[in-house]
Amino acid sequence: MIEKVFILLWIFLVYSFIGWIVEIIFSAIKQKKFANRGIINGPFCVIYGFGAVFITVFTQDLQGIWLFIGSVILATLVEWIAGHLVEKWYHERWWDYKSLKWNLDGYISVPTSCIWGILGVIIIKWGNTLLFGIYTIIPSFIMKLIILVLTVLIVIDGLATMIILSGKSHNTDRWKATDAWMDSISEKLKVKICKAVEERIYKAYPQKTKVKEQIQHPEIFAYGCSFYKVILLFFIGAFLGDIIETIFCKITMGVWMSRSSVVWGAFSIVWGLAIAAVTALLYRYRDSSEGFLFCMGTFLGGAYEYICSVFTEIVFGTVFWDYSSIPFNLGGRINLLYCFFWGIAAVIWFKKGYPSISSLIEKIPKRIGKIITWFLISFMIANIFMSSAALMRYNERNNGEIANSDFEEWIDRHFDDERMKKIYPNAIKVSP
């Protein structure tokens, strides 16, 4: 597991560096002058790194045209989320595709998404093979040391950049010194980098525009699409999702079946994260047409369910759902019909559910609301930890592994195979 993490970090670092080179060359050709296109100060364009890692992890089952389509979807999703995060944090746009055909809000477009798809195929077919070869040639200790050092540097660089750009620190001298040091590293690579972070960003993103900040009402608890609103929507969505799936199983299969993702309480993490994510990503589009919301819900829901399926299989060695028997499925992880259900759910949520629930949340007294939210966060963290431990031991017991600690013995007593089968009746073990 640790070895896989190092390989993924290696992929992230290399493609971040390659992406940085590609971006500055493109910028130099287009703008007739050099500009560092990285979000951070060092020679890394991290959106490329994240995109490469996502494609590597979540397209491993795909071949041919599906590999291209999967790369398009995942990379586009990364770019779209990154654009909105930058806008939310800094109230600015750092790129704009509105001049291109078939764009969405200027952050993504069909032409650029197709380029991402081609790059994804190249990454899987040839790029990762080459990188893995380099990884195995260099002595393990030296390679891991290089990866750790570069990872620490990129984290510090990113943190310094965020603090400086946000302007929320009262003492930025230390962070500016860190950025200056990263500048000197880039100078050694004979790349001219702007001294001030904001000047560099403006040169790198000439289309950058200010975005109007969301109106704040500090006297109202969880106003708009705030942190507290999203967290509470997660819990509401997780509970309602579990209830809906339980009733659906009763109607379609005639049996009451647990659909919970955790060992304590009726909570479906998949539904909770879906509600929280779709609210955060589509909040600005909540008043859009039903057709638009349906299409976005179908796209985001399908991509989200596929990612969840791959993630749980990798982490827990378990497949929690399998759509292989349903027509128009992709590896049994998603199917067209259920993707449409996600789209319908998005329409119902924003047109009917969200306005009412949001209004009720905002009526909670501010202090009480914060206490409730942090209590629920603490509870869910403990719940997810215990559920993960129970699932791992469940898998280990099926492989004949005995408990090696008092904690594992406690898990075996309180979450034995019979109880785990009741909580996760559809869980299918995957051979290592």
pLDDT in tens, the chain (432 residues): 688 889 999 999 999 888 877 776 666 555 544 444 455 566 778 888 888 998 898 887 788 888 888 888 888 888 888 887 777 766 677 677 888 877 887 888 888 888 888 988 898 888 888 898 888 888 888 888 999 988 888 887 777 666 655 555 555 565 556 555 555 555 544 444 334 444 444 555 555 555 555 566 778 898 888 889 999 999 999 999 899 888 888 887 787 877 788 999 999 998 899 899 889 888 988 999 999 999 999 988 988 888 888 887 877 677 777 888 888 888 888 899 989 999 999 999 999 999 999 999 999 999 999 999 999 999 999 999 999 899 888 888 888 888 888 899 999 999 998 888 888 887 665 555
Intra-chain end-to-end CA distance of the chain, in Å: 12
DSSP 321-375: ---TTSSSEETTTEEHHHHHHHHHHHHHIIIIIHHHHHHHHHTS-HHHHHHHHHH
Contact yes or no for 317/430 (Cβ under 8 A): yes
How much is the pLDDT for 170? 54
Query: How big is the chain by its Cα radius of gyration, in Å?
Result: 23
Q: What is the pTM of this model?
A: 0.64
In this predicted structure, what is the pLDDT of residue 413? 92
Alpha-helix residue ranges (DSSP H) falling in 123-192: 128-137, 140-166, 173-188
* Domain chopping of the chain, boundaries: 2-210, 227-429
Q: What is the Cα–Cα distance from 119 to 71, expressed in whole angstroms?
A: 8
Using left for φ > 0, alpha for ψ between -120 and 50, and beta otherwise, residue 383 falls in alpha
- Here the tokens at position 195 are 């001294």
